[in-house]
């Protein structure tokens, strides 16, 4: 790590600030839990996607909110720890129907709020999707035979 060419005063200043900032934890009054930044804003900030104007309220919030600031710091740290391996790895082909089962499982967990039609928000699969899967299932044995 590059070390500063600091004089004694700067070293002492750093110690003072370290002590003071940690004890203060933030430079502004604490915010209520509902006022925290959401995942969308937090991740856009950490990725450096926000324009200067957009980031101003976010930066101000992070100065005052230890919880959100800590999350952004953890995300930066996570980036460092994961390094370049975060790129998507080649994915194995899912077995046909697995997504349908996944969605069916997720849909079964939907908490009903208005009675029997609780899962109405789950959109029925498109017909062509089913046909595509069926076609794929038929093709695979043939491919194997041909191979």
Partner 1 sequence: MTECAADIDALHARCAALAPNYDIPSDIFHAAIRAAVDKYLLDAEEGNAPTPDQIVQFISELQINDLYLALACARGNEHAWWEFDQGYRRYIERIARHLAKAEADAEEVIDSVYVELYGTRVVNDVRQSKFATYTGRGTLRGWLRTVVWHAVIDLHRARRDEVSIDDWSESGGEIRDRPGWRAEARGGESAMLDRVTRERYREATVAALDASLATLDDHEKLLLLYYHVEGLKLREIARLVEEPRSPLRRWFQRQSKRRVNIPESRVHESTVMRWLEKVYGKVLERFRSELQEKGGLSDAEIEACVEMATEDLAPEDVRRHLMDAPAEG
Q: Which of 35, 100, 135, 138 touches partner 1 (CB under 8 A)?
A: 100
Question: Of 54, 95, 139, 140, which lies in the binding site for partner 1, with binding defined by CB under 8 A?
Answer: 54
Which residues between 59 and 98 bind partner 1 (CB under 8 A)?
59-60, 62-63, 66-67, 69-71, 73-82, 85-86, 88-89, 91, 94, 98
Residue 58 and residue 68 in contact, taking contact as beta carbons nearer than 8 Å: no
Tokens of 104: 């069916």
Residue 121 sits in the site that holds partner 1 (CB under 8 A): yes
Residue 38 CB, shortest distance to partner 1, in Å, is 6
With binding defined as CB under 8 A, does residue 125 bind partner 1?
yes
Residue 65, number of CB atoms within 10 A of its CB: 21
Residues in the chain: 147
- Residues 56 and 82: beta-carbon distance below 8 Å: no
Rounded Cα gap, residues 19 and 141, in angstroms: 69
For partner 1 (CB under 8 A), the number of binding residues is 93
Please work out, in degrees rounded to the nearest 5, the angle formed at the alpha carbon of residue 46 by the alpha carbons of 44 and 48. 70
Q: Which residues of 79-99 are buried (b: 16+ CB within 10 A; e: fewer)?
A: eeeeeeeeeeeeeeeeeeeee
Q: Which one of residues 34, 40, 127, 146 is an interface residue with partner 1 (CB under 8 A)?
A: 40
Contact status: 23 vs partner 1 (CB under 8 A): yes
Answer for which of 84, 116, 123, 146 binds partner 1 (CB under 8 A) is 123
- Residue 134 sits in the site that holds partner 1 (CB under 8 A): no
110 near partner 1, judged by CB under 8 A:
yes
Q: Does 136 bind partner 1 (CB under 8 A)?
A: no
């Amino acid at each position: 790590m590059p070390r500063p060419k600091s004089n004694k005063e700067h070293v002492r200043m750093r110690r003072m600030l370290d002590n003071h900032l940690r004890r203060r934890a933030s430079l502004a009054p604490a915010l209520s839990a509902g006022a925290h930044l959401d995942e969308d804003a937090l991740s856009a900030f950490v990725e450096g996607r926000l324009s200067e104007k957009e980031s101003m309220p976010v930066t101000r919030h992070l100065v005052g909110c230890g919880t959100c600031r800590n999350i952004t710091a953890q995300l930066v740290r996570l980036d460092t720890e994961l390094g370049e391996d975060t790129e998507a790895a080649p994915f194995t082909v899912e077995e046909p129907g697995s997504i349908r089962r996944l969605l069916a499982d997720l849909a079964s967990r939907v908490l009903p709020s208005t009675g029997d039609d609780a899962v109405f928000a789950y959109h029925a699969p498109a017909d062509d999707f089913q046909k595509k899967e069926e076609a794929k299932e038929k093709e695979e044995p043939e491919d194997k035979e041909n191979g």
